[in-house]
Amino acid sequence: EKGGYRHFMLKEIHEQPKAIKDTMTGRIAKDSDAIRLDDIKLTAEDLARFGKIFIVACGTAYHAGLAGKYLIEHLAKIPVEVDVASEFRYRNPLVDEKTLVIIISQSGETLDTFAALKEAKGKGARILSVVNVVGSSIARESHDVLYTWAGPEIAVASTKAYTTQIIALYEIALHMADLKGTLSKEAIKAIKDEMLNLPAKIEKALGNKEEIQKFASKNSGEKDVFFIGRGLDYAVALEGSLKLKEISYIHSDAYAAGELKHGPIALIEEGTVVIALMAQHELYEKMLSNVKEVKARGAYVFAIAKEGNREVETIADQTLYIPEVSDMLSPTVTVIPLQLLAYYMAVEKGCDVDMPRNLAKSVTVE
Ligand code: M6R
């Protein structure tokens, strides 16, 4: 049942190229210039009415939502606020008939997320959900559903659900951009073509385990690990940090690299492990400065950069390269080494990877 893999998590990590491909099938095609999202019934008039979009979710799905904010704001030019469901539902959010709420959930059964949906729906919001489990409670209560085709996810730590949620969010953002006319047909086509290449790039990233295993065998005894990144890399850093703490029980935090000086850099001392995400071309130079800052305080830096950006090698203690991919399309590729890193750290420590302590796959209580 684990398909020859030692754990469900490792199997699911390797299923990502296929899961992503399946989530694009019938929606993103080479030969047509449009995005086909037959399941969702948003019109140009609807979009003109929505002054604001909320994305609401928990845990990993929330982290996918943080990336979704960048994508929708960047491509479709609609302001997006992202909130964790347990906060959103109790803070009396400013939601009305002019609001679109995008709910993200793998299981479709997370209690706080479902309650947030009902809260927003009761106030007249239009609900579009991104769900993996067909016919789940969240799917049934939503006005529109865009399914991720990740297949069953068994491991408590979410992997293929995250990457397919991000793909669904590209689809939504592109669909909105198409309806609103914020992107030219050529620009949409260029993004679609690059999306269709993502499975191959992820496959390539999956083949690159040596540096990660080396890192895990050296650092699995660490008490704290810090992740830093900027822009979309910051959203991915949060996910990498959650994955690590969830299955290896190592304390970790993720920071927007520009925030280091505002407090967290006080924690850096000789040997502190910092994982620096450097997959955003536009922010690469800024990240180089941040890496120098933590190195100067004695940090052990593991950098994750794109092929071609080799300068970091001269500063970082270890560097892992991911295949070249544009800044906007990078999260599904950048997260791969972080998933593997969490996995190998947990294996090194002898943790129960698929069933980490204190956690349930689907959180149906408050
Ligand atoms: O089923 P959902 O997507 O609604 O679940 C949300 C979170 O409980 C889930 O992503 C959780 O954070 C994972 N264990 C993270 O790996």
The complex's ipTM works out to 0.99
Q: What is the pLDDT of residue 39?
A: 82
The model carries a pTM of 0.97
Pocket test for ligand 1, best of 102, 158, 248 (most atoms within 8 A of CB): 158
From the CA of 94, how far away is ligand 1's center (Å)? 25
From the CA of 22, how far away is ligand 1's center (Å)? 21
Measuring from each residue's beta carbon to the nearest atom of ligand 1, which residues come in under 6 Å? Answer: 58-61, 105-107, 110, 113, 156-158, 242, 246, 362-363
Pocket test for ligand 1, best of 246, 249, 363, 364 (most atoms within 8 A of CB): 363
Rounded Cα distance between 93 and 83, Å, is 10
From the CA of 102, how far away is ligand 1's center (Å)? 16
Residue nearest to atom 8 of ligand 1 (CA): 59
Residue nearest to atom 14 of ligand 1 (CA): 157
Q: Give Cα separations from 54 to 162, 244, 258, 268 (angstroms).
A: 18, 27, 25, 35
Low-confidence residues of the chain: pLDDT under 50: none
The encoded tokens of residue 67 equal 């990336």
From the CA of 311, how far away is ligand 1's center (Å)? 36
Residue nearest to atom 12 of ligand 1 (CA): 59
Pocket test for ligand 1, best of 110, 160, 236, 355 (most atoms within 8 A of CB): 110
Q: What is the pLDDT of residue 309?
A: 84
From the CA of 164, how far away is ligand 1's center (Å)? 13
**Which atom number of ligand 1 is nearest to the Cα of residue 60?**
10
From the CA of 48, how far away is ligand 1's center (Å)? 32
**Which atom number of ligand 1 is nearest to the Cα of residue 161?**
3
* Burial state string for 251-275 with b = 16 or more CB within 10 A and e = fewer than 16: ebebbbbeebeeebbebbeeebbbb
Query: Which residues participate in catalysis according to the annotation?
Result: 361
Q: What percentage of the chain exceeds 90 in pLDDT?
A: 93
**Which atom number of ligand 1 is nearest to the Cα of residue 165?**
3
Rounded Cα distance between 243 and 175, Å, is 30
Residue nearest to atom 7 of ligand 1 (CA): 59
